[in-house]
Chains A and B, each alone.
Chain A
Amino acid sequence: MARSTAFRLTARPTWRFSNLAPLGLMLASLPILAYLLFPILAIIFRVDLRVMLEHLVAREVSQAISLSLFTSAWSTALSLLFGTPLAYLLARYQFRGRSLIDTLIDLPMVLPPSVAGIALLMAFGRRGMLGSWLNDIGISLAFTTVAVVLAQVFVSAPFYIKTAISAFAGVERELEYAAEIDGASPWQVFRYMTVPLAWPVLLGGLVMSWARALGEFGATIIFAGNFPGRTQTMPLAIYLGFELDLNLALTLAMIMLVVSFGVLWLVKAILRQRV
Chain B
Amino acid sequence: MSQRRTLFVLMALFALLLSACGQATPAAPSPSAEASTAPIVATTTTLNVFAAASLTTAFQEIATAFEAANPGVTVVYNFAGSQQLANQINEGAPADVFASANLKQMDVVIASGMVASGQEQNFAQNQLVLILPKENPAAVQTLADLTKPGLKLVLADKATPIGQYTLDVLSKASELPEYGATYAEAVLANVVSYEDDVRSVLTKVRLGEADAGILYTTDAALAADELVQISIPETINSIATYPIAPLAKSAAPEVAQAFVDFVRSAEGQAILVTYGFLSY
Residues of A near any B CB (own CB < 8 A): 1, 3, 7, 10-11, 13, 36, 39-40, 121, 125-127, 140, 142-143, 159, 163, 166-167, 170, 197-198, 200-201, 204-205, 207-208, 211-212, 214-218, 221-222, 224-228, 231, 234-236, 238-240, 242-244, 253, 256-257, 260, 264, 267-268, 271, 275
Using Cβ atoms and an 8 Å threshold, which residues of chain B touch A197? 2
* Closest chain B residue, CB of each to CB of A125: B209
B17 close to A (CB within 8 Å): yes
* Closest chain A residue, CB of each to CB of B7: A11
Query: Per a CB cutoff under 8 Å, which of B2, B13, B17 touches A275?
Result: B2
**A208-B13 Cα distance, complex, nearest whole Å:** 5
The answer to whether B19 and A215 have CB atoms under 8 Å apart is: yes
The answer to whether A204 and B10 have CB atoms under 8 Å apart is: yes
The answer to whether B14 and A225 have CB atoms under 8 Å apart is: no
For the complex formed, measure the closest distance between the CB of A100 and the CB atoms of chain B, giving whole angstroms. 24
**A200-B6 Cα distance, complex, nearest whole Å:** 7
Count A/B pairs, Cβ under 8 Å: 142
The answer to whether A239 and B194 have CB atoms under 8 Å apart is: no
Offer 30 A-B interface pairs, CB within 8 angstroms, sorted by A.
A40-B21, A143-B152, A159-B16, A163-B9, A197-B2, A198-B2, A201-B2, A212-B20, A215-B20, A217-B23, A218-B23, A221-B196, A225-B154, A225-B192, A225-B194, A226-B196, A231-B193, A234-B24, A236-B24, A238-B25, A239-B196, A243-B159, A243-B160, A244-B158, A257-B21, A260-B17, A260-B20, A264-B14, A271-B6, A275-B6
**A97-B29 Cα distance, complex, nearest whole Å:** 45
B18 close to A (CB within 8 Å): yes
Interface residues as binary, B13-50 with A (CB distance below 8 Å gives 1, 0 otherwise):
11011111111111000000000000000000000000
The answer to whether A204 and B21 have CB atoms under 8 Å apart is: no
**A163-B5 Cα distance, complex, nearest whole Å:** 9
The answer to whether B6 and A253 have CB atoms under 8 Å apart is: no
**A7-B16 Cα distance, complex, nearest whole Å:** 24
* Closest chain A residue, CB of each to CB of B135: A127
**A260-B19 Cα distance, complex, nearest whole Å:** 12
The answer to whether B192 and A39 have CB atoms under 8 Å apart is: no
* Closest chain B residue, CB of each to CB of A122: B207
Q: From residue 123 to 169 of chain B, which have CB atoms closer than 8 A to chain A?
A: 152, 154, 157-160
The answer to whether A225 and B204 have CB atoms under 8 Å apart is: yes
**A227-B194 Cα distance, complex, nearest whole Å:** 6
Using Cβ atoms and an 8 Å threshold, which residues of chain B touch A3? 1
**A217-B192 Cα distance, complex, nearest whole Å:** 17
For the complex formed, measure the closest distance between the CB of B51 and the CB atoms of chain A, giving whole angstroms. 21
The answer to whether A208 and B12 have CB atoms under 8 Å apart is: yes
Using Cβ atoms and an 8 Å threshold, which residues of chain A touch B20? 211-212, 214-216, 235, 260
The answer to whether A208 and B193 have CB atoms under 8 Å apart is: no
For the complex formed, measure the closest distance between the CB of B167 and the CB atoms of chain A, giving whole angstroms. 13
Query: Per a CB cutoff under 8 Å, which of A7, A13, A170, A215 touches B21?
Result: A215
Using Cβ atoms and an 8 Å threshold, which residues of chain B touch A227? 191-194
